[in-house]
Amino acid sequence: MKIGVFDSGLGGLYIFRKLLKYLPAYDYIYLGDNARVPYGGRSPELIYQFTKRAVDFLFHKDCQIVILACNTASANALTRLQRKYLPENFSERRVLGIIIPTVEAAVEENFKKIGIIGTRATIDSQSYPAELKKLAPEIKVYQKECSLLVPLIEEGELEWEGLDLLIKKYLKALPLTKLNGLILACTHYGLIGDQIKRNLPTRVKVISQGEVVAEKFKSYLQRHPEMESKLDKNSRRTYYVTDLTHRYEDLIKLFLVNHFKNAKLELVNI
């Protein structure tokens, strides 16, 4: 059986790249719902319905575990999938999100004041403050939605000077002089992590999800041998997208770098 990795667009490929680095032996299926990107401005119910379709698709492609490599989906669909969809349909399989691993990593840093930037849906869900409060109620949390960053990243405008101006505008809404850390609560933001760091005080540590999620998932498999033993280890990768253009092919290469060699993209309707 395989590991499924799902994102509303292509940002989850940044997580996927790190999974391939830390856990290269396993078989993976990546699904990017780029026909509907971004999820960030959608209603919670619509995000759930889109995510459920994606998870259902991956389970029917023989995935044992599906990772929602999308903060918006994790924030708005994960709990419902785990409590209702899985018990009723795939009780022996698992759906994992990326919010709790990220929060755990932030708490391990002993931050006193932390900033969070993400899509509107992620910020509005209040998922990060809620999870931080469970583990470290003393941490002060400051959030800012950055709704224009994902479309720019998906357009490949990583070197555009306007991107830097937009980052500055968003970060100014946070009390930067007070922060110890900043969570990049969107998988896309890993690609612009350097630009974000340049606009922060040097003492502010950035928590980017790629390394964190990969390390935490590796630990998860070690703690759950009953799941790990079911996974195939042939280093096979399959890529599905819901929209296919030359621009998306170029973006996938940008996200995956050398991991995309000889890969085949397949178009699906979910």
Tens of pLDDT, residue by residue over 207-248, are 988 889 999 999 999 999 999 999 999 999 999 999 887 777
Q: Where residue 137 sits, what CATH number does that domain have?
A: 3.40.50.1860
Instruction: Specify whether 164 is located in the same domain as 186.
Output: yes
Instruction: Specify whether 93 is located in the same domain as 215.
Output: yes
The pLDDT, as a whole number, for residue 217 is 96
Instruction: Specify whether 93 is located in the same domain as 152.
Output: no
Please, are residues 51 and 32 in contact by the beta-carbon 8 Å criterion?
Answer: no
Instruction: Specify whether 85 is located in the same domain as 110.
Output: no
pLDDT tens digits, one per residue of 65-117: 999 999 889 989 999 999 999 999 999 999 999 999 999 999 999 999 999 99
Peptide bond just before 38 cis, omega within 30 deg: yes
Catalytic residues: 70, 186
> What value does the mean pLDDT take over residues 9-37?
90
Instruction: Specify whether 251 is located in the same domain as 161.
Output: no
Among 12-26, 99-113, 252-266, whose mean pLDDT is lowest?
252-266
The pLDDT, as a whole number, for residue 258 is 66
Please, are residues 122 and 78 in contact by the beta-carbon 8 Å criterion?
Answer: no
Instruction: Specify whether 105 is located in the same domain as 30.
Output: no
Instruction: Specify whether 172 is located in the same domain as 80.
Output: no
For residue 262, what pLDDT band results from cuts at 50, 70 and 90?
low
Please, are residues 163 and 195 in contact by the beta-carbon 8 Å criterion?
Answer: yes
The pLDDT, as a whole number, for residue 27 is 96
The pLDDT, as a whole number, for residue 257 is 66
Q: Flag whether pLDDT at 159 surpasses 70.
A: yes
Q: Among 209, 236, 256, which residue terminates a domain?
A: 209
Q: Among 209, 228, 250, which residue terminates a domain?
A: 209
Cα dist from 156 to 30, 117, 141, 185, 254, whole Å: 20, 20, 31, 19, 9
Please, are residues 107 and 139 in contact by the beta-carbon 8 Å criterion?
Answer: yes
Domain ranges, residue 256: 2-97+211-267
Instruction: Specify whether 201 is located in the same domain as 218.
Output: no
Q: How many CB atoms lie within 10 A of CB 8?
A: 32
Q: What is the mean pLDDT of the chain?
A: 91
Q: Measured between alpha carbons, how far is 230 from 2 in angstroms, rounded to an integer?
A: 8
Confidence (pTM): 0.87
For residue 176, what pLDDT band results from cuts at 50, 70 and 90?
very high
Please, are residues 255 and 13 in contact by the beta-carbon 8 Å criterion?
Answer: yes
